[in-house]
Amino acid sequence: MVDFKEDEKLNILNHSCAHLLAQAVKHLYPQAKFWVGPVVSEGFYYDIDLGDEVIKEEDLEKIEREMKKCSKSAKNIIRREISKKEALEMFKDDEYKIDLIERMEDGNISCYTQGDFTDLCRGPHVANTKELKYFKLTKFSGAYYKGDANNKMLQRIYGVCFPTEEELNAYLKELEEMKLRDHRKIGKDLEIFMVSDLVGKGMPMYLPNGYLIWEMLENYIKGKERALGYKHVLTPPLGNVELYKTSGHWDHYKDNMFPKMKVEDEEFVLRPMNCPHHMMIYSNSIHSYRDLPIRIGEIARDCRFETSGSLKGIERVRTFCQNDAHLFVTPEQIEQEFSSVVNLILEVYKELGIENFRFELSLRDPLDKVKYYPDDEMWNNAETTLREVLNDLGYDYVEKIGEAAFYGPKLDVQVKPAVGPEYTLSTCQLDFCLPMRFDLGYIDSDGNKKTPVVLHRAIFGSIDRFMAYYLEETKGYLPVWLAPVQIQVVPVNIEYHEEYAKEIYKALEEEGFRVELDNRNEKLGYKLRESVIKKIPYMLILGQKEADSKTVSYRRAGSEETTTVTLEEFIKLLNDDITSKRRYDK
RNA sequence: GCCGACUUAGCACAGUGGUAGUGCAACGCCCUCGUAACGCGUAGGUCGCAAGUUCGAAUCCUGCAGUCGGCACCA
């Protein structure tokens, strides 16, 4: 999808369109006061205080009509440099603009005027409002002033603007198409997961198709980890509150945990993460420097009390299974183990054909003394280490201040879903803090007890989220190794060809493929249509021709071509598809 | 959690005050068929839940729940 922020021409056009929106809103709502109206990846928006009024759906059309009027009036958009004093006087009735101006440097302030409307802005803009012709207001919502939930909620209106009608329509069509690949739709259509109000929101249940995909993903990633020396464990999905007080999670996240429950004279919580359990496993025995790194992995069920508004399909849920592991290493081993994790991430992405992702290096905000473990030296050390390893590996990344975990900095891999904002898929976190809090140790070569360093890492993030992402990536056309049903055998005529179809079906089943025989008394076209809708990778069409020549004809979902081969060749083809994990959706 | 919208059969939807409809799916009959829907028929819904207004509520009001679009949050 086009990025309005990155495309210079669209950026200016959309920024100007935000002003047009503000002008129209000012006409319709004279009491309106304006906060900011930036261009973002998805277009532009403007945050507006309408006093007691709120935007409703029908208001959008009304505002659009007014915008068209403002556009048609063909006013020149005129830039003017103003002094800070002038600016403060000009916008004296708008506390939001005053807020902005007060933080601006004198001599570096400008405003733009179009007809009866002037907005504070650094520009640049298009020359005339008539250039803003092909736009659409796409969505609206409340948005907290300065992004702080304690502040007043302003009205935010989103829109997009293009130079031509064709581009606008193409974009709107693309938006509609993206909705079709939303994992919630695919998950329902292909019977992958369900939710039940009675069980609880944000607690998905995986249906047979979904659990099959789950098992394949789980076995795949555990196999990769075993090859790298990981040992997998199984730990309970709850823990004593003291465990989380020791780790520090209780102080930081107790509001985001399910409340504690008292049993006899102990208190427990459903666990929100697995680090403390794995720390206890580490401390179950005495370790020598020779034993390190120790890599403990687990597909571990966690429960987090996510706010109702943040839940989304199987992407953001209240119960989920992390593809978690904790690597206990000596300080000298950090670099090698961290590289190894990054390489594993890249290897998995490459194998599964995931190409649209980016790295974020999440660092602490040094001014935030509450959230982050107070040890400057530790933080500087950890952040420098991660940065150096990333630079050595030569990967592009952006640094995000204030995004670190409370115990350490991390590398996050960000991806964009079909619908909604970016999220983290994989993560690798460096932690000097929890090993100290749990008093972990190993005996070093000099005979002294030292504290290990821990790398927290998740390749799939959670199996749930990864599945959501991969369903959207593949549009539901799963590669053969993941497809719940790999082959649908369709006899042309049930009366004459069922016997041959059964023979082939049994042969494929004996080879270990997930195969189904459609022996219903329906027309060929009808049965093929169902296979296509269910996105089954291979349709095997068996009629007189195939029975006579002892061959099979196959068609891949998403293709209209039919190929005829021998059964042996077909099996070879399938096995090749499965081992290569090849995607065929693109 | 906050702002707004939505919730009708397994699925996709229509129906804005007069005791529920269409298409697909399901089931039955018919058809016996070569690459995305043969035809006919049958069954299926306390219209998200609760309370209210009304002679009468899927429709109007209120509350609750869930979902969706954003905001906030995300160890």
User: SS3 for A94-138, per residue?
Assistant: CHHHHHHHHCCCCCCEEEEEECCEEEECCCCCCCEHHHCCEEEEE
The tens digit of pLDDT for each residue in A107-116 reads 889 999 999 9
Instruction: For nucleotide B3, give the residue with the nearest CA to its C1'.
Output: A142
Kindly list the distances between the CA atom of residue A383 and the CA atoms of A124, A330, A402, A411, A455, in Å, as whole numbers in the listed order. 37, 17, 12, 10, 13
CA of A355 to C1' of B53 (A): 59
Average pLDDT (A167-175) is 94
- Name the residue closest to the C1' of B24 by its CA: A530
pLDDT higher than 90, residue A306: yes
For A191, left (φ over 0), alpha (ψ -120 to 50), or beta? left
Nucleotide closest to residue A429 (CA–C1')? B75
Query: Between the CA of A185 and the C1' of B8, what is the distance in angstroms?
Result: 20
Nucleotide nearest to A185 (CA to C1'): B11
Residue with minimal CA–C1' distance to B66 is A197
Nucleotide nearest to A143 (CA to C1'): B71
Residue A567, Cβ density class (10 Å: 0-12 exposed, 13-18 middle, ≥19 buried): middle
User: H-helix or E-strand containing A21?
Assistant: helix A8-28
> Is residue A246 scored above 90 in pLDDT?
yes
CA of A303 to C1' of B58 (A): 38
Query: What do you get for the CA distance between the two ends of chain A, in Å?
Result: 15
ipTM: 0.95
What mean pLDDT is predicted for residues A371-380? Answer: 88
For position A6, what pLDDT does the model report?
94
Higher-confidence residue: A402 or A370? A402
Residue A47: which nucleotide is closest by CA–C1'?
Answer: B71
A59 CA – B56 C1', rounded, Å: 34
Pick from A187, A189, A182: nearest CA to A206: A187
Q: What is the mean pLDDT of chain A?
A: 95
Give percent above pLDDT 70 in chain A.
100
Give the amino acid at A487: I
Residues of chain A with CATH 3.30.930.10: 186-473
> What confidence score (pLDDT) does residue A495 get?
87
| Every domain range in chain A assigned CATH 3.40.50.800 | 487-580
pLDDT at A84 over 80: yes
Q: Which residue is nearest to nucleotide B38 (CA to C1')?
A: A523
Instruction: Name the residue with the least CA to C1' distance from nucleotide B49.
Output: A197
A159, burial (CB in 10 Å: exposed 0-12, middle 13-18, buried 19+) = buried
pLDDT recorded at residue A1:
85
Q: Is the pLDDT of residue A251 over 70?
A: yes
Give CATH 3.30.980.10 domain extents, chain A: 8-180
Q: A525 CA to B40 C1', in Å?
A: 20
pLDDT at A309 > cutoff 90:
yes
Nucleotide nearest to A521 (CA to C1'): B32
Instruction: Supply the pTM of this predicted model.
Output: 0.95
Distance between the alpha carbon (CA) of A197 and the C1' atom of B18, Å: 34
Catalytic residues of A: 275, 304, 322, 324, 326, 410, 456
Query: Has domain A186-473 been given CATH number 3.30.930.10?
Result: yes
Contact by Cβ (8 Å): A159, A17: yes
What pLDDT score does A187 carry? 96
Task: Give strand B nucleotides closer than 7 A to any protein Cβ.
Answer: 1-5, 11-12, 25, 30-38, 65-75
pLDDT of residue A586: 66
- Give the Cβ contact number of residue A420 at 10 Å: 13
Q: How confident is the model at residue A375 (pLDDT cuts 50, 70, 90)?
A: confident
For A142, the 3-state DSSP assignment is: strand
Kindly state the tokens that stand for A151. 């502040």
Q: What per-residue confidence (pLDDT) applies to A107?
A: 84
Q: Which CATH number fits domain A8-180: 3.30.420.40, 3.40.50.720, 3.30.980.10, 3.30.390.50?
A: 3.30.980.10
Confidence of residue A484 (pLDDT cuts 50, 70, 90): very high
Residue in the structure block whose two tokens are 């995004």: A403
Model confidence band, residue A584 (pLDDT cutoffs 50, 70, 90): confident
| Span A1-52, pLDDT tens digits | 899 999 999 999 999 999 999 999 999 999 999 999 999 999 999 999 999 8
Cα A96 from Cα A100, distance rounded (Å): 7
For the cut 80, the answer to whether the pLDDT of residue A319 exceeds it is yes
Instruction: For helices A567-580 and A494-510, give the axis angle rounded to 10 degrees.
Output: 50
CATH (residue range A487-580)? 3.40.50.800
Q: At what angle do helices A334-351 and A208-227 cross, to 10 degrees?
A: 140
Q: Fill in the DSSP letter of residue A284.
A: T
Task: Output the distance from A187 CA to B37 C1' rounded to whole Å.
Answer: 23
